[in-house]
Amino acid sequence: MQKEAPHNMSNPQGQFNTLDALRFDNRVIRELPADPEPANNRRQVRGACYSRVLPTKVPQPKLVAYTREVADLLDLSYEACESETFTQVFAGNRLLPGMEPYAWCYGGHQFGNWAGQLGDGRAINLGEVVNRRGERWALQLKGAGPTPYSRTADGLAVLRSSVREFLCSEAMHHLGVPTTRALSLITSGENVIRDMFYDGNPKAEPGAIVCRVAPSFTRFGNFEIFASRGEIGVLKQLLDFTIHTDFPHLGEPSPRVYLDWFDEVCRRTADMMVHWVRVGFVHGVMNTDNMSVLGLTIDYGPYGWLEDYDPDWTPNTTDAGGRRYRFGNQPYIAQWNLFQLANAIYPLINQAEPLQQALSDYAQCYEQGWQAMMTQKLGLGAFDPATDDELISQLLDVLQLVETDMTIFFRRLALVDSELDSQQRANDDALMAPLEEAYYDPEKLIPEHRARIGNWLRAYLSRARQNGIPDARRREHMNAVNPKYVLRNYLAQLAIEKAEQGDSSTVTELLDVLRRPYDEQPGKESFAQKRPEWARHRAGCSMLSCSS
C-alpha cells in the first residue's frame, strides 16, 4: 500500500486498536422483516426488506487506500486500518464479531420507466456500527459478490469504477456536499470481465471492493418496491423504521409524521441539488434506486464534473440519446423522482394534496437555495431580486459564449479588481485579465464576446460596490464556496491507469489534495488545471458508461 502523507500515528484515547472492538447494533436485522430463504440464488423476494447473504471470498486482497476521516468516524486507529485483518475484513473474506451481512431489496424507475425489483446486486451490508459519540454508521461492501438481487450480473466491481467511487465520495464530502462516504479501497486479486462501452470488446480488468459508510443506504426504491407489489404492511414497517432510526426528531410515526418526513426528504434533496450545481457535479444515473432518502449523493457510476460550462452535458454514454440526466436537468429529475416516492407512500397517507404541496415546496426551496448559492458564488451576500435575477441570468450566458472552465472561472472571478481606475475599468481586456486562464481557446473570444464579458463584469463590480463589499471580503467569501480543486474527469482516469499498474500513488495524492478543495495548496496547482486536449475525447475522461 502507498503510505499517505505523514500523519500522527499515535493512538489518541478513544480509538480502537483492533477491529474486534467495533460495536455492532444491527437494527435492520433486528427490526425489519427478512427473506426466509437462506440460499443465494437470483430470485424475486417478496414480503421482506432484505436477504441474508455472505460476501464471496477473494484470493488475494490488497489494500490500495483507506481514509483517515472515515476511520475516525468509526473510532478506528490508523494502525488497525493498516492491519492484515482490516484488508481481509473489508475485502469480504472475514467477518468480525457482530457483523450480520445482508442485501437490501429495492426497486426503481430507471431512465423514467418502472424496472421492478433491483436490490443490492453487488452491495453487501455488514452491519451498523455505533461509535463512541452514539452515531450509527452502516458499513457496506460494494463489489463483494452475487446476492439474490444480482439478476444476470456477477456481483463484482472493477478497480476503475471503484477508484472513482472511493475518490469522489471523499471529494464530495470535503466540498461540503452531502454524500455517502468511503472507508477503504481493496483489490481482490481476481480479474473481472467488462465490455466497457457495450460494443463487443470485453476485457479482463482487476476486481475491487469499496467499503461505503453512511447513516443508512435507504433509497427511494426501497419504498417503491413494496407499493408496487401492494405490500402495504411492509411499506409501513420500513417507513416507521426509517423515521425511528434516521429521522427520530420527527416523533412517533403517524400519517401526519409521514408527511413531515416526505417534506424533509424534499428539502434535503433540494439542498443536495443546489450543492451539485454549485460544484458542477453531474451524477449521470439519477434513477430512483440511486436516490437516498437522507439526501446523500449515492452510487457513483458514470458521474462527471463540468469542465466547460455546458448545462446540456452528460458524462453517461448510455444516456447520450435523451440526455435525461444532463447537468441542467438534475433538479427537475430530482422532483420527478420525489413524485415517485410520493406515489409510493401515498397508501400510508391517503391524501394527495399535502404530498403535492410538498412537491411544489421542493421547487420553491430549490429556487431559493439556488439563488442564495449563486449570490454566494459571486461573493455578494444576500440575493437581491432587484438586481441579481438579471445579473445571474447574464452570467450564465457569458459562461456559454465560448468554452469556459466553470471551476477556474469562479475561482478567478474573485481576483477581478474593483479598484481599477476608470480608464482601466472601461478596458474590457484589462478588466477580464484574471479570467483568461478559464478559456479553453482564448483565440475564440472575438471582440464582441470580450465586450459582453466586460459589460457583465462592470455590472457585477458595481453591484458589489453598491453594497459596500470590499474586494478582500468578496474574495474570502467566494473562495469558501468556489473550489479550486475538484475531481476532474481526467484526474480520476490518471489515478485509475496508475492503480491498474499496481501504483496507488496518484489515488493517494488526489485523495490528499481533495481534502482541502478550497485552499490554494502551493505545489499542487497541476491538479487545478483545465482538462488537457488529450483528454477531450478519451474514454474515461469525457465518456463513461454504466459498465462498472
Binding site for ligand AMP (CB under 6 A): 118-122, 149-150, 153-156, 285, 287, 289-290, 299, 301, 546
Pick from 130, 133, 129: nearest CA to 99? 129
Q: How far is the CB of 296 from ligand AMP (least distance, A)?
A: 14
Q: Which does 428 bind (CB under 5 to 8 A by kind): ligand AMP, Mg ion, none?
A: none
Instruction: With beta carbons less than 8 A apart as the criterion, state whether 144 and 124 touch.
Output: yes
Question: What would you report as the CA-atom Rg of the chain, rounded to the nearest whole angstrom?
Answer: 24
Pick from 217, 216, 243, 215: nearest CA to 348? 243
Residue nearer to ligand AMP on the CB measure, 238 or 438: 238
Cα separation, 535 vs 542, in Å, equals 7
Cα separation, 535 vs 533, in Å, equals 5
Given the rule CB under 5 A, which residues bind Mg ion? Answer: 290, 299
Cα separation, 506 vs 492, in Å, equals 9
Q: Which does 150 bind (CB under 5 to 8 A by kind): Mg ion, ligand AMP, none?
A: ligand AMP
Q: How far is the CB of 285 from ligand AMP (least distance, A)?
A: 5
Instruction: With beta carbons less than 8 A apart as the criterion, state whether 103 and 124 touch.
Output: yes
Q: How far is the CB of 292 from Mg ion (least distance, A)?
A: 10
Q: How far is the CB of 122 from ligand AMP (least distance, A)?
A: 4
Residue nearer to ligand AMP on the CB measure, 155 or 517: 155
Q: Which does 118 bind (CB under 5 to 8 A by kind): ligand AMP, Mg ion, none?
A: ligand AMP
Collapsing DSSP to helix, strand or coil, 295 comes out as coil
Residue nearer to ligand AMP on the CB measure, 86 or 104: 104
- Catalytic residues, which ones? 289
359-367 long-range Cβ contacts below 8 angstroms, 24+ apart:
359/266, 359/335, 361/263, 361/266, 361/267, 362/266, 362/267, 362/269, 362/270, 362/334, 362/335, 362/338, 363/335, 365/266, 365/267, 365/270, 365/271, 366/270, 366/273, 366/274, 366/331, 366/334, 366/335
Pick from 54, 59, 93: nearest CA to 191? 59
Residue nearer to ligand AMP on the CB measure, 123 or 438: 123
Q: Which does 142 bind (CB under 5 to 8 A by kind): ligand AMP, Mg ion, none?
A: none
Q: How far is the CB of 546 from ligand AMP (least distance, A)?
A: 6
Q: Which does 512 bind (CB under 5 to 8 A by kind): Mg ion, ligand AMP, none?
A: none
Residue nearer to ligand AMP on the CB measure, 235 or 285: 285
Q: How far is the CB of 290 from Mg ion (least distance, A)?
A: 5
E strands, 288-426, in order: 304-305
Instruction: With beta carbons less than 8 A apart as the criterion, state whether 315 and 543 touch.
Output: yes
Output the residue with the shortest Cβ distance to ligand AMP: 121
Residue nearer to ligand AMP on the CB measure, 14 or 322: 322
